[in-house]
Amino acid sequence: MTYHLETAEHPEKLRRVAIDPVSRVEGHGKVTLLLDEDNKVRQVRLHIVEFRGFEKFIQGRPYWEVPVMVQRLCGICPVSHHLAASKAMDAIVGAKRLTPTAEKIRRLMHYGQIMQSHALHFFHLCSPDLLFGFDSEVGQRNIVGVAAKHPETARRGVLIRKFGQEAIRLTAGKRIHGTGSIPGGVNKSLSVEERDYLLKDIYQIVAWCRDAVHLARELHETDPALYNSFGIFRSHFMSLIGADGQMDLYDGRLRARDDSGAIHFDGVAQADYEKYIQEEVKPWSYMKFPYFRALGNERGWYKVGPLARVQNCDSIPTPLADAERREFLDYAGGMPMHTALGYHWTRMIEMLHAAETIKDLLHDPDILGGDLMTTGERGFEGFGMIEAPRGTLIHHYRVDENDLVSMCNLIVSTTHNNQAMNEAIRHVARRYLHGREITEGLLNHIEVAIRAYDPCLSCATHALGKMPLAVELVDAAGTLVHRLQRDA
């Protein structure tokens, strides 16, 4: 199956433009556009080279090492992999139910991760585009520019992120590459001093996160024409859902809705994911294209992440975030919102939910407990799913009788969004680039659409919030016509 603009009929006659962000180990993404003589867009593809070989690399390693080792998959959300792998390995050590302390410490770690990742994404990576405009002066369109013009926003962004990182450090042992979560439980809980250290700032953090939701909302309200249509396309969406249909980013069952919001499947146990989701390989990208089996590869693709989650759950179990969720639904007018920029607003709602959840956990004496581990009957297959900052993350392993991993399958959030991101940039390319001379600002429109999904390739670009990239226009004969270079 090919989609409109996925594959051009005579590619050899077209000009090739490549947007080639050079990123670090965890991912390398590239956009290629094929243009005809009139600069009309004929083909648009987002290719991602990512995680190649990692599943192989894990094979043959002892299972207890995996939750720590998989953190190498991603430099920005290693905790998600750490926890998803731990959850899968819980089944290997027979821990059917964790101790309350272990479960809550893991949740604290996870919501800290959601907070730090969402803050990084919104404030560092995206606020420059959102506050200054997508084709604003490139010298200003970065976090340094935001710090100069909106110092309070930038400062809060830094401090919210830092708070999330501290929650990770205290539960995992380190901000990155921690070891806190282990098969069957955790290796530490919080001391009273550690708890109090987080507690003293959490109310401020909750308030700031609430302001951030309002900032995202105001952006939509001030420019609805842009925000309600940019990178828009309809699709199904999926996420884990907790008990009673509530949002739960740490655990739950899979629920999917179609583009109009009707339930496609619900209550699917994590171990059954393969019955509902299939992955397609395409020759031009290393990243697979997952889709819902029942609908087939043409119609079955979907999106994950904040925009999916906030609209998929029946409620959010913390009051402030739930109020914001309802406002968002009202704004969307009773139908699911599909615009790419809706991700920002919903991401901020989730950040608020994370802050409120952390606040509640800090008041729960279980996080100070000493009962950390559970064991039981040895298992040989484990499924670990979590709602990572970017969406549903699936880890699936089989472990042999010598304790070594014999099979590993990972479906990461960015992979679920693969087709969705391709659709988003095709939409943007049609609307903004068609028939025009390519400029940096126009190119940035493509990036804005990709970045809304917060894929791993944008994770690679923390500090200044811009993707280092080279864009080359090559004519049909292969001659370089024009080159734009931007460094991080």
Residues that bind another protein (CB under 8 A): 60-62, 64-65, 67-69, 71-72, 93, 172-174, 177-180, 182-183, 187-188, 402-404
CB of 270 to another protein, least distance (A): 23
CB contact burial 88-107 (16+ within 10 A = b; e otherwise): bbbbbbebeebbebbbbbbb
Nearer to another protein, 71 or 422 (CB): 71
d(CA 11, CA 446): 21
CB of 82 to another protein, least distance (A): 10
CB of 283 to another protein, least distance (A): 29
Nearer to another protein, 118 or 188 (CB): 188
Nearer to another protein, 226 or 404 (CB): 404
CB of 187 to another protein, least distance (A): 4
CB distance 86 to 182 below 8 Å: yes
CB of 161 to another protein, least distance (A): 21
Beta strands in 293-389 (DSSP E): 302-303, 381-388
Measured in whole angstroms, how far is the alpha carbon of residue 383 from the centre of its chain?
A: 20
Nearer to another protein, 14 or 109 (CB): 109
Render 187-242 in DSSP notation, one character per residue.
S----HHHHHHHHHHHHHHHHHHHHHHHHHHHHHHH-HHHHTTTT----EEEEEE-
Structure tokens at 289: 């294209």
DSSP 99: -
CB of 182 to another protein, least distance (A): 5
3-state helix, strand, coil in the chain (%, to 5): 45, 20, 35
What's the residue count for the chain?
Answer: 488
For CA atoms 385, 390, 391, 393, give the dihedral sign.
negative
CB of 65 to another protein, least distance (A): 6
Nearer to another protein, 61 or 431 (CB): 61
Nearer to another protein, 80 or 458 (CB): 80
Q: Is 21 exposed, middle or buried (0-12, 13-18, 19+ CB in 10 A)?
A: buried
Cβ-based neighbour number of residue 281 at 10 Å:
9
Using DSSP, state whether 458 is helix, strand or coil.
helix
Nearer to another protein, 400 or 440 (CB): 400
Q: Are strands 277-280 and 289-292 parallel, antiparallel or unpaired?
A: antiparallel
Nearer to another protein, 72 or 150 (CB): 72
CB of 224 to another protein, least distance (A): 46
Structure tokens at 128: 């420059």
Q: Which of 46, 373, 114, 324 is nearest to 210 (CA)?
A: 324
CB of 3 to another protein, least distance (A): 39
Strand partners, 310: none
Nearer to another protein, 68 or 206 (CB): 68
